[in-house]
Chain A
Amino acid sequence: MPPPLAPPPVLPRPLLLHLGEELSLRVGGGSPEGVGEKEKRSEEPPPSLDLTFHLLREVLQMARNERLNQQATSNRALMDSFGK
């Protein structure tokens, strides 16, 4: 039985407060119309993300920490397997 999904890392409160100020997310590329979606999709500008470098570095650091924690967990599980 697969283990339950791990919860995503919780964003720190200062980061959450900054999201409203610093983050502007513009993601285009979709059309609500049913006719000619492919043509309309190809004409629309590609998606982009308005994110400050400060916020980008914050989430990057969180991702690095998550990877290190996961590596430690994986190594621990492997060592437990060796002991069986």
Chain B
Amino acid sequence: MSVAPRTHFLLFLISLSSRMGLSRYIEDIEAADGLYSLLSLDQKRDSEDFIFRRPLRCLDMLATDGSYTFVASRPQLACAAFIIAEPSEVISLELSDVNIDCSAGDFIKMFDGWVLKGEKFPSKQDHELPLHQRYTDYCSSPATGATSRSSQNVAMIFFRLHSADSGFTLAIKKLHNPFPCNIMSQSPEGSFTMVLPHQRKNCSFSIIYPVEIRLTDLSLGHAKSNELNPQRQLWSGCSGSGDYVELLGGNGVDTSMMFPVAALCFSLSGLAQVKIGCDNSVVRLVSSGNYINRVSFQYRLLEQSELPKTQENALDNFCSVE
């Protein structure tokens, strides 16, 4: 086949692919409802019994879809529940059977993210909403304040109940998120690929353990040479590069308050690894929106012997890095 007809043929194939919506980066492979899809209608109706239900504790961590009911046996003035899903999920929250007295100071507030010791995840820099829009206050508007949907795989609920027998029910449902951004890992080991296709935003993958992180693939907008550039004190990093990946370490959940460990400004085809001996280790992808950026990495928990020894009279507050 000569060049011109071949070119036309290839263009024809490309146009067919675009109409079919094929994309290397958009893969939303759903297994439908899995085993659930094999049930008959009667069996599906009976599946209401499959909804997980249990009492909610004043301090709780919820990772399972279901219905959680809190009933105060005595005044409960400081309660909170963390909610976490898989990296590729967001969380839908719905309050029902709410029996509280807002005028007496009771409240139920849902937060889009996690708050720990005053620090927020995702940070203000990494979340698309201003801070005040991340809170949903039931008492401010019971009609609209009873539902909330998170922007990432973590959410929280805070509540205060002054009277015994007051309470509420919280329903948790997880929804698929095809382009996850800002993830809290449930486990100290695993792997993940973060993709930002032409999106101007910053995304963090947070691991609340001291880990070794191995970057296995990095594709940034500008493909030039690359070197892992560990920075400890002088941080020049990749500022000004537009799109880059940075590794952070710290002892809080707010990524804007964590220490930069290393930064990669250019695409990577080999392997780069860093041990971060901090309570929280983060891979953060900064994207200008001009390119399709992708970073793949693996992480594992550092053994006790790999953790830094406590130094007496140590003034350096930064966790150890290798």
Given the complex of chains A and B, what is the CA–CA distance between A55 and B70 in angstroms? Answer: 22
Residue-by-residue, is B135-146 near A (CB-CB < 8 Å gives 1, otherwise 0)? 101011000000
Return chain A residues, CB-CB under 8 Å to B78.
Answer: 25-27
B315 within 8 A of A: no
B279 within 8 A of A: yes
B64 within 8 A of A: yes
A14 within 8 A of B: no
Given the complex of chains A and B, what is the CA–CA distance between A33 and B105 in angstroms? Answer: 7
Return chain B residues, CB-CB under 8 Å to A50.
Answer: 116-117
Return the 3 tightest CB-CB contacts between A and B, nearest first: A63-B63, A59-B61, A47-B158
A8-B60, A56-B208, A75-B35 in contact; A64/B135 too (CB < 8 A)? no
Chain B residue with Cβ nearest A47: B158
A37-B139, A41-B140, A75-B35 in contact; A63/B64 too (CB < 8 A)? yes
B97 within 8 A of A: no
Interface residues on B, range: 35 or more
A6-B53, A81-B39 in contact; A56/B116 too (CB < 8 A)? yes
Interface residues of A (CB under 8 A from B): 2-3, 5-8, 23, 25-27, 29-34, 37-38, 41, 46-51, 53, 56-57, 59-60, 62-64, 66-67, 70, 74-75, 77-79, 81-82, 84
Residue-by-residue, is B93-125 near A (CB-CB < 8 Å gives 1, otherwise 0)? 000000000111111010100011110000000
Return chain B residues, CB-CB under 8 Å to A41.
Answer: 107, 137, 139-140
Return chain B residues, CB-CB under 8 Å to A34.
Answer: 103-104
Q: State whether A60 touches B61 (Cβ < 8 A).
A: yes
Interface residues of B (CB under 8 A from A): 35-36, 38-39, 43, 46-50, 52-57, 59-64, 66, 69, 77-80, 82, 84, 102-107, 109, 111, 115-118, 131, 135, 137, 139-140, 156, 158-160, 162, 186-187, 208-209, 251, 279-280
Given the complex of chains A and B, what is the CA–CA distance between A49 and B56 in angstroms? Answer: 17
Return chain A residues, CB-CB under 8 Å to B77.
Answer: 27
Q: State whether B84 touches A63 (Cβ < 8 A).
A: yes
Return chain B residues, CB-CB under 8 Å to A32.
Answer: 104-105, 162
Among A27, A46, A74, A81, contact of B79 (Cβ-Cβ < 8 Å): A27
Return chain B residues, CB-CB under 8 Å to A81.
Answer: 39, 43, 46-47
Q: State whether A8 touches B55 (Cβ < 8 A).
A: yes
A25-B78, A31-B105, A78-B35 in contact; A48/B115 too (CB < 8 A)? yes
Q: In whole Å, how far is B109's beta carbon from the nearest beta carbon of chain A? A: 6
Return chain B residues, CB-CB under 8 Å to A60.
Answer: 61, 63, 82, 84, 186, 208
Q: State whether A46 touches B115 (Cβ < 8 A).
A: yes
Given the complex of chains A and B, what is the CA–CA distance between A47 and B257 in angstroms? Answer: 19
Other contacts beyond A25-B79, A32-B104: 5, CB < 8 A: A7-B54, A23-B59, A41-B137, A46-B131, A63-B82
Q: State whether A78 touches B50 (Cβ < 8 A).
A: yes
Given the complex of chains A and B, what is the CA–CA distance between A67 and B209 in angstroms? Answer: 20
Given the complex of chains A and B, what is the CA–CA distance between A76 and B102 in angstroms? Answer: 42
